[in-house]
Amino acid sequence: MLQYLIKRLLYAVPTLLAVLTVVFFVARVLPGDPAQVMLGEQAGAEAINALRIRLGLDRPLVEQYVDFMKGALSGDWGTSLVTGRPVLGEVLNVIPYTIELTLASILIGALIGVPLGAWSALHRNSLIDYVTRIGSLLGLSFPAFVMAIMLLLAFSIQLSWFPVISSGGGGSLAERLRHLALPAINLGIIMAAYITRVTRSSMLEVLGEDYVRTARAKGVPHLAVVWQHCLRNALIPVVTVVGLYLGILIGNSVLTEIVFNRPGLGKLIVGALTQRDYTMLQGLMVVYTFIIVVVNLLTDLTYGFIDPRVKYQ
Amino acid sequence: MSAMTGEPSAAPPPANRALRQFFTAFNTNKTSWVGLVTFAVVALVAVLAPVIATHDPLEQNILDKLQGPSAEFILGTDGFGRDIWSRLVYGARLSLWIGGVSILIAMVVGSLIGMVAGYFGGRLDIAIMQVMDVLLSFPSLILGLMVVAMMGPSVGNLIFAIALTAIPPFARIARAPTVSVKERDYIEACRALGYSHPRIMAVHILPNIFPEILVMGSLWLATAIRVEASLSFIGLGVRPPTPTWGGMIREGFENILDTWWLSMAPSVAILVIVFALNMIGDGLRDFVDPKLKGERGG
C-alpha cells in the first residue's frame, strides 16, 4: 500500500511537469501575441513592444521556459500587473471560498444523487425511473450559468430569500451559509444529475450479480440486501466517477462565481481577463494545473482505498 | 465492394455487425428519436436563418428598444432595439457552426491519433496516450478559457480551443478497438497481401470504430455548444455585435434587475439543443459503453 502511494506520488511529478509545459505553450507558442491581446486592437506597436519587454516575451523561448518552470514550482507566480500584489497571495485569499463551494456542492450532489439513483434502479422501467432518467439528463444539460441566473432571479430577486451578491458572508456561520446556499445548490443540482445517473447504472449492474440472487434466495430481508449487498458495492464506481466530474465542477464553479458575484478562483480569473492582467492569468493557469493534478491523484488514491481488488502495480 | 477492389473476402463482417447494432440501438430508443428530431429542427432553423429571421439581427433602432413581444417583434427587442427573435435565429447558426466544426475536427484528428497509437503500439503509443491524458485532465472550460484568453476571441480561435479540448476522448475511444482488431486474421491477411498501413486503417479498422465515434460526437457536440456559450457569457466569445446565445444572456444578466427577461430566450435555446443532443447520445451510450464513461466533459 505504502509502495503504491509513493509510486503514485512520483508518477504525479512528470504529469505536473507535462501539464505546466502545456500551460507554457498555450501562453507563448500558440499564434497570437499576448501583449497584443492584452492591450487591444488599437494599441500602437511601441506600447506592445514595451509590454512584451516588461513581460519578458522578447527573450529566447528556452530561457523563458526555464524561468517559467522555476517560478511555477517554487511558488513564485509573479505579481499582478493591476494590483502589484503577488499572485500567490491573491490566490490564497480567495481559494477557501472556492473549496467551500466545491465541497458543499459535492455534498448536496451526493445527498440527492445517491438515494435517487438507487431508488430509480430498484424501480427499473417504472414511471419513477423514467422521470428520474429524463430529469437527470435535463439537469446535466443545464449550462451552470443558465441555472444560476434562474435561481438568482427566483430566490434572490423575486423572493429575497438569499442575498443577490453572495460576497461570502461576514463572521457568523449562519450568514456564511446564507451566502453559500444558492451557489452551492446550483452546482449541487448539476452534480446530483451526474451522480444519479452513475449510481443508477452501477446499482443495476450490482442487482444482477449472483451474490445478490443468493442473498435473496437464502431469505435475507429486502432492505438488508439493498443496503448491505448492493449499495455498498455500487458506490465504488460512484466515488471514482465523482473524482472525474470534479473537472466539470471546477469549470462550472467559475461560471457560478460570476453569476453570484462570489469571491473565488473563477471570479479572480475573469477579473484578470477583463483587466488584461497577464501575469495574474498565467499564475491562475498554474494554480488550476496544480489543482487538477492533485484532484487526479486523490481520485486514484481513493479508488485504491475503497476497492481492495485494485492491484497496486 | 470486395469484387471491385480485390479485398480479401474474409474482410469486415464485424464492421457491418457494429453498424447494424448501432442502428438497432437507435431504433429501439424513443429518447434518441425525440432528441434527433429536436436537433434537426434547430439545425433547420439555423440553416434557414435568413428566411426565418424577421429583421436584420444587427440593425439597431433605439426608438424601439426594450419592447415586449408583439406582432412585429416576436420576442421583443433588446437594449439597442434589435429584434431578439432574429438574433436568436442567427445565434443558432454560430453556435452550431462553432460546435459542429470543432467537433468534426476533434473527431477526425482524435480518431487518427488514436488509430495510429493503437495500430503501431510500442513507445509511440505510450507517448501519444500520455499527452492525451494530460490534455484530458484539463476541464474543457478552463482549457478553452486559457487558449482563447491568450489568442484572442475569434471564430477560428474558438473552434481551435474547443477542438483541442475534445481531441483526447476521441483518441481514447478510437485506440481501444484498434488494438483488438489489429490482431485479427483478416488484418494479418491484408498485411500478407502487402496493403499499406493507411489503407488497412481506413478500410478495415475505421468502420469498426465509426459508430462509437459518432455517439461520442453527439455527446461532445453538446459539450462544445455549452463551452462556446459559457465562453461567450464570460466575454470571451465572438465579439459583439455578432449575435451569440452566451453573449445575449450576458446582455440580459448585466442589467438583471431591469431587463432579466433578455436572458430567457437564449437560455431556453441553449438548454433545448444541449438536452436534445444528450438525448440522442443517451440511448446510444449503452451501445458504446455501459458504464457511462463517455460522460466526461463540461
pLDDT in tens, A63-111: 888 888 888 888 777 778 778 888 888 888 888 888 899 999 999 999 9
Q: What is the mean pLDDT of chain A?
A: 82
Identify the band that residue A275 occupies on the pLDDT scale cut at 50, 70 and 90. confident
Residue B106 or residue A285, greater confidence: B106
Nearest residue of chain B to residue A281 (CA atoms): B146
A175-218: pLDDT as tens digits: 888 888 899 999 999 999 999 998 898 888 888 888 888 888 88
* Residue whose C-alpha is closest to residue B287's, from B77, B3, B22, B14: B22
Q: Is there a contact between A140 and B278 (Cβ–Cβ < 8 Å)?
A: yes
* Least reliable range by pLDDT among B64-78, B107-121, B186-200, B252-266: B64-78
A143 prior amide bond cis, ω within 30:
no
Closest-CA residue of B relative to A272 is: B149
Residue with cell 481506413: B202
Across the A/B interface, how many CB contacts are shorter than 8 Å?
Answer: 145
Give B35 to chain A, closest Cα distance, Å.
12
Read off the DSSP letter of residue B205. Answer: I
Instruction: Considering only the beta carbons, identify the residue of B140, B234, B290 that sits closest to A270.
Output: B234
Q: Do A292 and B230 touch (CB under 8 A)?
A: no
Inter-chain touch B236–A273, beta carbons under 8 Å:
yes
List chain A residues with CB under 8 Å of B157: 32
**A173 to chain B, closest Cα gap in Å:** 28
| A219 to chain B, closest Cα gap in Å | 30
Instruction: Give the span between the Cα atoms of B67 and B69, in whole angstroms.
Output: 7
Rounded to whole angstroms, the Cα distance separating B223 from A143 reads: 9
Q: What is the DSSP-derived secondary structure letter of residue A290? A: H
Cα–Cα distance for residue pair B118/B124, rounded to 1 Å: 9
8 Å CB contact of A201 and B292: yes
Structure confidence at residue B285 (pLDDT): 66
- The per-residue pLDDT for B8 is 45
Arithmetic mean of pLDDT, A48-69: 80
Whether pLDDT at B273 is above 70: yes
Helix axes B13-27, B30-47, angle to 10 degrees: 90
Percent above pLDDT 90 for chain B: 23
Question: What is the reported pTM?
Answer: 0.83
CA A5 – CA B283 distance, rounded (Å): 39
Query: Average pLDDT of B222-242?
Result: 88
ipTM over 0.90: no
DSSP letter at B202 equals I
pLDDT digits (tens, 9 = 90+) for A2-14: 777 787 788 778 8
Q: Do A270 and B296 touch (CB under 8 A)?
A: no
Contact residues on chain B for A247, CB-CB shorter than 8 A = 137-139, 296, 298
Arch. (CATH architecture) of B29-57+72-293: Orthogonal Bundle (1.10)
Q: Do A37 and B151 touch (CB under 8 A)?
A: yes
Contact A247 B139 (CB under 8 A): yes
Q: What is the pLDDT of residue B17?
A: 67
Q: Residue B234 to residues A35, A86, A188, A266, B147: CA-CA distances in angstroms?
A: 20, 24, 21, 10, 14
Decide if pLDDT at B290 tops 60: no
Burial class (CB in 10 A: 0-12, 13-18, 19+), A66: exposed
Q: Given pLDDT bands bounded at 50, 70 and 90, which one contains residue A306?
A: low
The confidence score (pLDDT) of residue A180 equals 86
**B134, A15: Cβ pair inside 8 Å?**
yes
| Per-residue pLDDT at A1 | 66
